[in-house]
Each structure stands twice: as structure tokens, then as C-alpha cells.
Chains A and B, each alone.
Chain A
Amino acid sequence: GENVEQHPSTLSVQEGDSAVIKCTYSDSASNYFPWYKQELGKRPQLIIDIRSNVGEKKDQRIAVTLNKTAKHFSLHITETQPEDSAVYFCAASTRGSTLGRLYFGRGTQLTVWP
């Protein structure tokens, strides 16, 4: 099955700086890549996603890029704020639009210092 690797496992940045989290996947058939944010003790929430027919997607301070050839995708957060502190998970779907099964990375603990 699909294998998703996520780096780094922890990331500390100063408020206002940018944060980048990177993920790689193994199955070239994967074509859907969502990112989830999970605050301490809370449920994961979808913050942005990208499909393999798109190279980049942006939503305010958050952007995701996808390199299908290299099989990696990244989350970029600009102008970070303390409320961005959370665990971020990347995921990939290896079944395309058939079943929607998601394979998650191990997560990145982002800490934004004021």
C-alpha cells in the first residue's frame, strides 16, 4: 500500500516567519493530497488539499505545492501566528476517486513563538 513520509517531526518558528512541512509518497497512482490541522485534544480538520492535476494551490496564508515527478508535496504557511501552533498531518489517497482511503504521515508539531 501507500507509504507517506513527513518531515520534520517538530518545527519551531518565530511569529511572522514562514513554516514549510514536506511529505513524500510512494504510490504513483495517488492523486489526492489533503492537509489536516489537529490542535491539542481536538479533532483533525482539513485546512487545504490538492489534486494531481494541479501544481500549486493557495488559500490566504496557506499554500500547498505538488511535484508528481518527485512524488512529494509541501505545506507552506506564511506570516505565522501563535494560533497556527498545532500538529499538521499530510495524507495521500492511493485509490484516486474510487474509495477515498487516506494514508497519513506521522505529523509535524508546529510551534509558533510570539
Chain B
Amino acid sequence: EAGVAQSPRYKIIEKRQSVAFWCNPISGHATLYWYQQILGQGPKLLIQFQNNGVVDDSQLPKDRFSAERLKGVDSTLKIQPAKLEDSAVYLCASSIGTGTTYEQYFGPGTRLTVT
């Protein structure tokens, strides 16, 4: 089966600019996650969707980050305006359902560099 797709793979922007990342989960997967992975650290959950509804966004810096999952399939994560500390790999993952019964499959990530 096709895996989780993400684009772009790399992005370099200046601080205070805006950027958007796109994720296409595995077909049929109802749950979608966005993680931030700073160099040398493990992934940190930013937001979790169940279909097109948000179930957990407690770690999302809502003053600058936003995400949506229209129609319950693809998702977009936006940062506006970007800060230097936003430099990281942004990973999208999906699973068939919500809960620890279901394995999370990760995409290749988008490496963001903010200068």
C-alpha cells in the first residue's frame, strides 16, 4: 500500500515569513497526527485529527501554528509567522483509528529551516 505522503520535503524561509506543509495519509486512515521533531529530540505531538475533527491540540502553539483537515483526508499545517526555534522536521503520521490499538505510520517529513 502507498505510504503517508508529505510535501515539500525541504523548506528554507526567513523568520517572520509564513510556510505551509501538506500531508496525504494512507487511504482509509481516519486518524492523522502532526509531530514536530527538533534535531536530537524525539517527535512531539502538535495536533491529532479524527476524520476532520481535532481531538488533541494541547501542544500546538496556537498563536502561530494552525492546522486543518478538510474532508477528513489531506491535512495542512501552517506556521505564521515563523521563528528561529521552529526549525525542525515536521512529521505527519496516520492510523486506521484512534487509540493505541492502531499502529501509527509516519511520512518522510518536511525539514524546515528558519534563518
Interface residues in chain B, defined as those with a beta carbon under 8 Å from any beta carbon in chain A: 3-4, 31, 40-45, 48, 55-56, 91, 95, 98-104, 106-109
Contacts and interface: CB of A to CB of B under 8 A. Distances in A.
SS class of chain B's interface: helix, strand, loop or mixed? loop
A46 B42 contact: no
A69 interface: no
Interface string A29-66: 00110100000001111100101000000000000000
Interface stretch (A13-21, A75-83, A93-101): A93-101
A6 B40 CA distance: 12
Contacts of A103: 45
A106 B40 contact: yes
Interface of A: 4, 6, 31-32, 34, 42-46, 49, 51, 89, 91, 93, 95-107
